[in-house]
Amino acid sequence: MKRKKAILERRGKEILILDGATGTELQKRGMPAGVCPEAWCLDHPAIIGDVHREYLDAGSAAVYTATFGANRPKLGEYGITDVFEVNRKLALLARAAAGRDGLVAGDVGPTGRFIEPFGDLPFEDAVAVFREQIGGLVAGKADFIVIETMIDIQEARAALIAARELTDGFVMVTVSFERDGRSLNGTDPVTALTTLQSLGADAVGCNCSAGPAEMAPWIAAMKRHARVPLVAKPNAGMPELLGGKTVFPMGPEAFARHGRELVSLGVRFIGGCCGSTPEHIRALAAATKGMEPPRPVRTAPGAVSSARKTVVFEDTEGLIVVGERLNPTGKKALQQELREGKWATVRTMALEQERQGALLLDVNAAVPGVDEKRLLPEMVSFLARTSELPLVIDSSDPEAIEKALRLYPGRALLNSISGESEKLLKILPVAARYGAPFILLPLEGTGVPETSRERQAIVRKIWKEARKFGYTREDLIVDGLVMTVSTRPRGPRETLETVRWASESFRCRTILGLSNVSFGLPERKWLNGAFLAMAVERGVKFVIANPGSEEVMALGAAADTLLERDREARRYVSRFSGTGTEEKKPGPGKAVSDGEAVFSAVLEGRGEEIVPLLKKALGGGIPPQTLVEQSMVPAISRVGDLFEKRKYFLPQLLSSAETMKRGLAFLEPELRSAEGEKASRGRIVMATVEGDIHDIGKNIVSLLLGNHGFDVVDLGKDVAADRILDEIRRVRPVLAGLSALMTTTMVRMGEVIRKAKEKGIDCPFLVGGAVVTPSYAESIGARYARDGVEAVRVAEEILDRQRKPERK
């Protein structure tokens, strides 16, 4: 392999032009569909040589070996097992074509399998697959390795780790992003860059799946964070239907024009992918000739990533809360679950913390009696699938740390590295190998350093070591070392001074494990809150805390606002401004009557409040019937109006309906005693027809009908016609409601109605469901309702019509 510098200095200051599509060139030269391209190339060495040479002649400085699918799983589909040799030979063919001037890129494509934690291929097996292929490419004298067309960041990581473990040569990684700017597995360009450049990629970028125009914003987004050169290998546009044929629409000149734009945005290596030809490359080389290669930024901003999200520290205003709850210390139930291999609590804790505003999740696997080396990677794997938040690996066991960092499909933060020599020398190289930033804990094993000055000395010592591994200040976060105020009264002041020094003088970010400060004291939240506000003033950026603590989150937001860490107080305002319905809320100083309070509770779907409010109203002397007629029914009617006007959506309608139902259930005994018997507007039979098991719509309609005084006889789902008709005969309803979700089951509604007519059952039918239309309803002799609110209206209309003759 060529030395890294030799790749970057190739052709002086020029942009390095890569090749274009190979598969279509081989097809043009006779490669039939359905064959193994790698085997076909080995059988036709002159043809692949021609393709390489044509690209070199067109201006490519480097050609990719024809080894895109030359990995064990892919070659195995064709019964080929000698993976190393296939790669070596194809690399040698490219080498021969490239001669002394051309560069050979050992091409590594995806396996087509999904890898742990997102798939069933164990991560180490994936690394072994790529090691085998890359070994062949290196033996075949490839100048550098290119890992391309990756849709899964974990597969890209596996290939990159394999490459790094085999060679210190130049390794380029390109990911395929879809039109929405994310890879199929949800990784965005900045996240891919953050993960891959920290793991040791020498150039990162995108290829395939999009044309050069679509790639421009992705390249622009990556450029700000890239400390490595960027790569683009776009398709010749996006496939389009032109003249009855699906084609790649972009010709060489347009392709080259867009190529110039990509270079001006920051691309150093550029070529073409699907649909591109030697003509595209020729035009591209001409268009970019003489353009200055852009320089990467010297130091990438501090950032951590998961598979789907990056948290860039400098872009994140204010305090970053690291959720602390995924720590089994002192949590017996969580310990037990982890011992039993259950994940329900871990999942709940992760998602709750995410919803509560944590931006990172601390994960600790120190469970007594459980091997941390096994459990920590398992937790990391589970959380990588469960939460989008980047993880903070909380361990002091070098082996457990290595396993977790190796497996995690992102760039995790390591918590922590202290100054204890033995651990420092063991953990620092591991963290560096996986590009993990770390929390620097100013401890040395000879007891807790009491003063800030002692802590500063330890910070400097660890920093000196870390620099040897290529770390920058962006990659480390100094822990202020929080001591309990009850045992060390001066402790908090020393911690705050450490934070101030690290932020202002040492110029790196800081973190506090907040709740330690109040240990052993009552009403800890006040101490935690006050300490947090003081620390924010000293510049602290991270706290490890429970984001479910209102005090921490609220005081953190307030402190950020007061110290200009929240521009225009936007986050503060957004946190505390309600957006709920203001309707019927009294103005300042205006008293709310009991009836109005009941009205509001139904209108706003406040189910928990309805019974106490009704009790109060009854206690105040309002008769139950009055509450129903003058507060609850008007409220639910208003809800119906708001729903029809699209001011409410379904969950609001249903929250109000549930509140109404709860209220009516509470009032029912009172209403009975007042009226002698339960008032009902009539019975309605409801059923989802035979063959159909989707009944949520029917359940919603039943709830709303019940709230409007109808007695609903709900027969459930998948109900045979005869049973529906028997029930109609038995209960003599004012109406029967039928639902079906699918076109195939919708016809059963017609069958029920036809049978009813045959049997002389005179009952109106109401039908509804996703595919049911008014005209279909009419055709089978039924009424139609679009939704629950309309169903109530139709039921009332039918009831009204049935009663009219009685009145005459």
Partner 1 sequence: MFPADPDFFPSIPAAVPEARVWKRLGRRRNTEFPGGEQGKAIRDALGEAFSLMDLRGAGLTVPILSLDPSEIRLAGGTVFRSAGLARFLRGSDALLLMGATAGREIMDAIGKAVEEGRMARASVLDAAASEAVDGALDWITGFYRRKLLREMKTVTKRRFSAGYGDFALENQEAIHRLLGLGRLSVELTESFMLLPEKSVTAVAGILKIENRETSSDETEKSHS
Interacting residues with partner 1 between 492 and 551 (CB under 8 A): none
Q: Which single residue is written with the structure tokens 């070591």? A: 465
Binding segment (CB under 8 A) for partner 1, from list 158-166, 319-327, 345-353, 553-561: 345-353
For residues 256 and 284, the answer to whether their CB atoms sit within 8 Å is yes
> Distance between alpha carbon 565 and the CA centroid of its chain, in Å?
26
Instruction: Decide: is 80 part of the binding site for partner 1 (CB under 8 A).
Output: no
Range 51-70, binding partner 1 (CB under 8 A): 68
Closest distance to partner 1 from the beta carbon of 452 (Å): 41
282 binds partner 1 (CB under 8 A): no
How far apart are the C-alpha atoms of 752 and 724, rounded to whole Å?
Answer: 8
Closest CA to 12 of 347, 290, 379: 290
Minimum gap (Å) between residue 654 Cβ and partner 1: 4
Stretch that binds partner 1, among 177-185, 314-322, 504-512, 558-566 (CB under 8 A): 177-185
Residue 699 lies near partner 1 (rule: CB under 8 A)? yes
Q: Which of 3, 385, 672, 732 binds partner 1 (CB under 8 A)?
A: 385
CB of 467 to partner 1, least distance (A): 37
Size of the site for partner 1 (CB under 8 A): 91
- Cβ distance 192 to 159 under 8 Å? no
- Nearest distance from C-beta of residue 766 to partner 1, angstroms: 19
CA angle in degrees (0–180, nearest 5) for 195-200-205: 60
Q: Which stretch binds partner 1 (CB under 8 A): 25-33, 192-200, 325-333, 457-465?
A: 25-33
Asked whether 517 and 528 are in contact (CB, 8 A), the reply is: yes
Is 745 a binder of partner 1 (CB under 8 A)?
yes
Q: Assess 666 for contact with partner 1 (CB under 8 A).
A: no
- DSSP 3-state percent helix, strand, coil across the chain (nearest 5): 50, 15, 35
Is 694 a binding residue for partner 1 by CB under 8 A? The answer is: yes
Binding string, 423-452, against partner 1, x = CB under 8 A?
------------------------------
Within 10 A of 779 (CB to CB), how many other CB atoms are there?
Answer: 10
Confirm or reject binding of residue 743 to partner 1 (CB under 8 A): yes
CB atoms within 10 A of CB 414: 26
Residues between 252 and 271 with contacts to partner 1, criterion CB under 8 A:
252-254, 257
- Closest approach, Cβ 21 to partner 1, in A, equals 9
The CA-based dihedral angle spanning residues 39, 45, 49, 50, taken in that order and rounded to the nearest 10 degrees: -100
How many whole angstroms separate alpha carbon 101 and alpha carbon 97?
A: 10
Q: Which helix (H) or strand (E) holds 407?
A: helix 398-407
Interface residue with partner 1 among 57, 696, 722, 730 (CB under 8 A) is: 696
Mask for 587-616, x = binds partner 1 (CB under 8 A): -----------------xxx-x--------
Binding to partner 1 in span 142-171, by CB under 8 A = 149, 151
Q: How many helices (H) and strands (E) does the chain have?
A: 32, 25
Query: For partner 1, which stretch binds (CB under 8 A), given 234-242, 451-459, 616-624, 798-806?
Result: 234-242
By residue count, the chain amounts to: 808
CA distance 194 to 185: 16
Residues 287-326 binding partner 1 (CB under 8 A) are: 307-308
Given 425, 573, 650, 679, the residue binding partner 1 (CB under 8 A): 650
**Minimum CB distance to partner 1 smaller for 28 or for 801:** 28
- For partner 1, the binding residue among 98, 208, 719, 738 (CB under 8 A) is 208
For residues 363 to 382, the per-residue mask of contacts with partner 1, x marking binding by CB under 8 A and - elsewhere, is --------------------
Q: How far is the CB of 470 from partner 1 (least distance, A)?
A: 31
3-class DSSP assignment, residue 143:
coil
In the complex, minimum distance from the CB of residue 445 to partner 1, in angstroms, rounded to a whole number = 41
Rule CB under 8 A: say whether 584 interacts with partner 1. no
Around Cβ 262, how many Cβ atoms within 10 Å? 26
Helix (H) or strand (E) holding 417: strand 413-418
> Which pair of tokens denotes residue 600?
């509001």
User: Could you give the CA distance from residue 178 to residue 187 in angstroms, rounded to a whole number?
Assistant: 10
Peptide linkage before 117 cis (omega within 30 of 0): yes
- Nearest distance in Å: CB 580, partner 1: 3
- Judge contact between 267 and 232, C-beta under 8 A: yes
